[in-house]
Amino acid sequence: MDNAKLAKLLFPDVVNTPDYYEEKFPYRKLPAKAQVTRMAPSPTGFIHLGNLYSALADERIAHRNGGVFYLRIEDTDEKRKVDGAVETIINVLRYFDIEFDEGAGFDDDAPQNAYGPYFQRQRVEIYHAYAKSLVERGLAYPCFCGEEELEKVRVRQEEAKVLTGYYGEYALCRSLTLEEIEAKLAAGESYVLRLRSQGQQGREITFNDSIMGEIKLPENIHDIVLLKRDGVPTYHFAHAVDDHLMRTTMVIRGGEWLASVPTHYELFHVLGFKMPAYGHTAHLMKFDEETGGKRKLSKRKDPELSLDYYRKDGYHPRAMKVYLMTLLNSNFEEWYEKFPDKDISEFPFTVEKMSQSGALFDKDKLHNICKNELAKLSEEEMYDFLKSWAEENEPDNAKVWFDDREKLLAILRLYMGIGMKRRRKDFVYARQIFELIGYFFDTEKSEAKDGFRLDKDEVSAILRDYLEGYSHEDDNQAWFDKLKGIADRHGFASDMKAYKAQPDAFKGSISDVAEVVRIAVTKTANTPDLWSIIHIIGEDAMREKINGVIG
Ligand code: GLU
């Protein structure tokens, strides 16, 4: 076969050679240990916790040692494309404070975008240069088989009980002569371009995964499709050319890609490229209450897999990052306990410490981390965080919540325990925060979260007495002394010691009386200092709330 002739026939318009691109995209000049990593999503619009997990690892690996983290859009599959998906990816990652250095999202002529274009559909010319070179070297050939022929082959293979697929003797178009190919092309038959696999059945490749360690997998033997009928490459082919030309040194990606490694291994080999290091991440798992075992997080069953879920409820990006770091690197938690105030970027992140088995997603743990991280914010930082969340997610309520800056800051100071010996840790995420403090605003029309433990008449009697004696000028102590008076008048112990000594002598204690007022004003039994709350709400609103309970 005259391969050069075939290559010219198939790619009459390709003028550039691989050498041209090798020169155009030279090795990057970076410090010795620097890694070039990438996120290479298909623009399907769905971005999940697993993507953020890998992206954070990529970002850390690149930025630990002065490397580059870039975004490439793998849009070769037109059917899966969703409008606006690229913006979604960039925005979501930016929300979690993960920034790219280069790639999609930057202007084409931006100085850092020297290895572009970063959308695969704009790189077809480049793939064709490499495809042509494979044909020239006898490593790729056109295949004219349609669905029907492929189906026949499959049936034959099933009958013979052999591996199904397009390979070896079953690869019908492997042995077409140049004349046969010319005739088919002249007749206008369409074709895909296939790899002429050099692999052999029964042989293995040994591959050193940066996360999983040494892995043995069967060699690829399939004549996989490199270019589809319309000349657009398949993911496998495009990613090999791209990772090479963009000078990627390390690929961190989901474990579902591990099975593709033999194919990629062969592609890099026949293309004459050095393979980047690959690290396949463990699946994110969760406890399944139904079975009592572990299972993979699923798109269908688990809303918490979607990153939108965390944005909509207003999880603080730093808490999410800290949480993911605990999943990513087993020694992170210990380090962070030692240095709770250090920036995460100072943690010596290593690929070697990445979890090999399924990382367990644990919401309680995430919530604990949220509490701790939010307790590090100042009230102004909290205010700004809540404001941008509310404006995006609760625009109507936001107008009410943020109408009086001083009032909201006072609420935040109180709830965050700012100025107290120890900070309070009531806050978990934005939506939960506004549920907690909603009673300060008229937006909250919900029922009481905690019910009264005393009967209705007793509650009303206590509250009437309370309103009668109430004076807004009382300081905290005077106010509390009045509560004690109410306790005494209604058969509750005003003194806790007396109550503990003789609990049966009383209906309850001062704390039950305070709880009645607390629930009447705030709808919950658990709040920071009640006097302070009343002084933020104001006397009129307090009276209105209490009168609403008395009925
Ligand atoms: N485009 C692939 C995806 O959608 C990327 C796989 C890889 O990172 O190599 O996940």
Q: Given ligand 1 and candidates 209, 239, 246, which is best to mutate, with the most ligand atoms within 8 Å of its CB?
A: 239
Predicted pLDDT at 94: 86
Q: Given ligand 1 and candidates 253, 261, 267, which is best to mutate, with the most ligand atoms within 8 Å of its CB?
A: 253
Q: At what angle do helices 363-374 and 317-328 cross, to 10 degrees?
A: 130
pTM of the shown model: 0.86
Residue 74 in contact with ligand 1 by CB distance below 6 A:
yes
User: Concatenated DSSP letters for 437-470?
Assistant: HGGGSTT--PPPSS--SS-HHHHHHHHHHHHHH-
Q: Given ligand 1 and candidates 235, 244, 258, 275, which is best to mutate, with the most ligand atoms within 8 Å of its CB?
A: 235
- Ligand 1: which residue has its CA nearest to atom 10? 41
Task: Determine the average pLDDT of the residues in 518-538.
Answer: 95
Predicted pLDDT at 80: 74
At 108, is the pLDDT very low, low, confident or very high (cuts 50, 70, 90)? confident
Task: Determine the average pLDDT of the residues in 84-110.
Answer: 88
Dist. CA 363–CA 368, nearest whole Å: 9
Dist. CA 526–CA 530, nearest whole Å: 10
Predicted pLDDT at 547: 94
CA end-to-end distance (rounded Å), the chain? 96
pLDDT at 467 over 60: yes
Q: Given ligand 1 and candidates 36, 38, 39, 42, which is best to mutate, with the most ligand atoms within 8 Å of its CB?
A: 42
Residue 257 in contact with ligand 1 by CB distance below 6 A:
yes
| Amino acid occupying residue 530 | L
- Ligand 1: which residue has its CA nearest to atom 3? 41
Contacting residues for 73 by C-beta, under 8 A, at least 6 apart: 40, 41, 42, 43, 86, 104, 118, 119, 120
pLDDT in tens, 174-232: 999 999 999 999 999 999 999 999 999 999 999 999 999 999 999 999 999 999 999 99
* Ligand 1 center from residue 49 Cα (angstroms): 15
Percent of all residues in the chain with a pLDDT value above 70, rounded to a whole number: 99
- 358 touches 288 (CB < 8 A): no
Residue 243 in contact with ligand 1 by CB distance below 6 A:
no
* Ligand 1 center from residue 248 Cα (angstroms): 14
Predicted pLDDT at 448: 61
pLDDT in tens, 46-60: 788 888 889 999 999
Exposed e or buried b per residue across 519-535, where buried means at least 16 C-beta atoms within 10 angstroms of its C-beta = bbbbbebebbebebbbb
How many residues belong to the chain?
551
Helix (H) / strand (E) element for 510: namely helix 510-522
Predicted pLDDT at 330: 86
Task: Determine the average pLDDT of the residues in 464-484.
Answer: 97
| Whether the bond into 276 is cis, omega within 30 of 0 | no
* Ligand 1 center from residue 236 Cα (angstroms): 9
Residue 236 in contact with ligand 1 by CB distance below 6 A:
no
Average pLDDT, the chain: 93
Predicted pLDDT at 103: 95
At 444, is the pLDDT very low, low, confident or very high (cuts 50, 70, 90)? low
Predicted pLDDT at 176: 97
Predicted pLDDT at 551: 79
Predicted pLDDT at 384: 98
At 290, is the pLDDT very low, low, confident or very high (cuts 50, 70, 90)? confident
Predicted pLDDT at 90: 85
pLDDT at 151 over 70: yes
Ligand 1 atom having least distance to the Cα of 243: 9
At 355, is the pLDDT very low, low, confident or very high (cuts 50, 70, 90)? confident
pLDDT at 445 over 70: no
At 86, is the pLDDT very low, low, confident or very high (cuts 50, 70, 90)? confident
pLDDT at 315 over 60: yes
Ligand 1 atom having least distance to the Cα of 74: 1
Instruction: Determine which of 80-94, 126-140, 163-177 has the lowest per-residue pLDDT on average.
Output: 80-94
* Ligand 1 center from residue 65 Cα (angstroms): 24
Task: Determine the average pLDDT of the residues in 83-106.
Answer: 87
* Ligand 1 center from residue 51 Cα (angstroms): 10
* Ligand 1 center from residue 252 Cα (angstroms): 10
User: Concatenated DSSP letters for 362-388?
Assistant: -HHHHHHHHHHHHTTS-HHHHHHHHHH
User: Which of these, 24, 250, 18, 238, lies nearest to 115 by C-alpha position?
Assistant: 24
User: Which of these, 504, 533, 499, lies nearest to 517 by C-alpha position?
Assistant: 533
